[in-house]
């Protein structure tokens, strides 16, 4: 029930705002993984990002949607391996770097930063 309320609230925002929210969540994954936060926190953020992509990709341009789906697949792999990966600093750093790249790219896709030169 809580997930459905979150989805409905999330979908009220225009696509650029949703992509900006996704970028922020990916940024939080990066920070959480880098800092070695509670593994459950990172796992919940990964799950949240996966849902945000599910709720957003269909409304995005085809190329952007394809990128989002690839990120979602990678997040699923991280989520499935997180129990073991979170104990390995190198794996946490790898997720942190990947999530930061995804966050930056998603923010660029949102158009919230304005035109790039």
In a domain, 15, yes or no: yes
pLDDT tens profile 23-49? 999 999 999 999 887 899 999 999 999
Give the confidence band of 103 by pLDDT, cuts at 50, 70, 90: very high
In a domain, 86, yes or no: yes
pLDDT at 113: 85
In a domain, 117, yes or no: no
pLDDT at 58: 93
pLDDT tens profile 74-96? 999 999 999 999 999 999 999 99
Q: Which domain holds residue 90?
A: 2-109
For residue 9, give the nearest of 55, 50, 41 by alpha carbon. Answer: 55
In a domain, 29, yes or no: yes
For residue 82, give the nearest of 68, 100, 69, 96 by alpha carbon. Answer: 96
pTM: 0.92
In a domain, 19, yes or no: yes
In a domain, 93, yes or no: yes
Least confident of 13-22, 36-45, 100-109: 36-45
pLDDT at 117: 47
Q: How far apart (Å, rounded) are the C-alpha atoms in residues 67 and 33?
A: 22
Q: How far apart (Å, rounded) are the C-alpha atoms in residues 99 and 102?
A: 5
């Amino acid at each position: 029930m809580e997930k459905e309320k979150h989805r409905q609230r999330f979908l009220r925002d225009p696509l650029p705002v949703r992509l900006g929210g996704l970028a922020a969540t990916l940024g939080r994954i990066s920070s959480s993984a880098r800092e070695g936060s509670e593994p459950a926190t990172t796992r919940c953020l990964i799950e949240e990002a996966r849902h945000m992509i599910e709720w957003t990709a269909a409304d995005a341009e085809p190329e952007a949607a394809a990128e989002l789906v690839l990120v979602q697949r990678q997040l699923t792999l991280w989520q499935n391996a997180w129990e073991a990966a979170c104990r390995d600093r190198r794996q946490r750093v790898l997720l942190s770097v990947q999530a930061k790249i995804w966050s930056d790219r998603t923010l660029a896709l949102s158009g919230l930063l304005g035109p790039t030169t």
